[in-house]
Amino acid sequence: MKSDGDAADAVIVGGGFSGTMAAAQLARRGLSSVLIDGSGRAGKGVAYSTREAVHLLNVPAVKMSAWPDALDDFANRVGDPGVFAERRFFGAYLTGILEEAQATGLVVARGESAVGVERDGEAYRVNLADGTVALGRALVLANGNQPPDPLRFAESVPDNLFINNPWTDAARAAVTRVAAVGGDVLIIGTGLTMVDAVLSLAAAGHGGRIVALSRRGQIPRGHAPYEPADVGLCDVPCGLMAQWRWLRRRATEVGYRAAVDALRPHSQALWQRLGEVEQRRFLRHARPWWDVHRHRIAPQVSVQLKQMIAVGQLEIVAGRVRKMRGERGALVVEIGRRGGPCSPAPLPQRREVLKFTLGLNCTGPLGAMGRTRDAVLRQLLDEGAIGTDHLGIGLSTDDEARAGERIWALGPLTKGRYWEIIAVPDIRGQAADVAASIAKELGR
423 or 444, which is more confident = 423
As a three-state string, the secondary structure of 87-98 is HHHHHHHHHHHH
Query: CATH says 152-221+297-361 is which class?
Result: alpha beta
Can you give the pLDDT at residue 6?
A: 87
Q: Residue 146's closest CA among 377, 339, 433, 321?
A: 377
Of the pLDDT bands very low, low, confident and very high (cuts 50, 70, 90), residue 45 is confident
Can you give the pLDDT at residue 349?
A: 66
Pairing verdict, β 350-356 and 162-163: unpaired
182 CB-near residues (< 8 Å, 6+ apart)? 206, 207, 208
Q: How many Cα neighbours within 13 Å face the side chain of 17? A: 27
Q: Is 427's pLDDT higher than 70?
A: yes
Q: Write down the architecture of domain 5-147+366-441 according to CATH.
A: 3-Layer(bba) Sandwich (3.50)
Rounded to whole angstroms, the Cα distance separating 47 from 96 reads 16
Can you give the pLDDT at residue 339?
A: 65
Rounded to whole angstroms, the Cα distance separating 384 from 95 reads 34
Rounded to whole angstroms, the Cα distance separating 307 from 284 reads 31
Q: What is the pLDDT of residues 299-335, one digit of tens each?
A: 999 999 999 999 999 999 999 999 999 999 999 999 9
Q: Is 280's pLDDT higher than 50?
A: yes
Stretch 7-23: mean pLDDT, rounded? Answer: 97
Domains of the chain, by residue range, sit at: 5-147+366-441, 152-221+297-361, 233-294
Q: What is the pLDDT of residues 196-246, one digit of tens each?
A: 999 999 999 999 999 999 999 999 999 999 999 999 999 999 999 999 999
Of the pLDDT bands very low, low, confident and very high (cuts 50, 70, 90), residue 4 is low
Q: Is 281's pLDDT higher than 50?
A: yes
With contact defined as beta carbons under 8 Å apart, do 335 and 213 qualify?
yes
Q: What is the pLDDT of residues 371-390, one digit of tens each?
A: 999 999 999 999 999 999 99
| The two domains 5-147+366-441 and 152-221+297-361 share their CATH topology (first three levels equal) | yes
pTM above 0.75, yes or no: yes
Can you give the pLDDT at residue 103?
A: 98
Can you give the pLDDT at residue 345?
A: 47
Q: What is the pLDDT of residues 91-127, one digit of tens each?
A: 999 999 999 999 999 999 999 999 999 998 889 999 9
Q: What is the pLDDT of residues 337-355, one digit of tens each?
A: 986 544 444 544 689 999 9
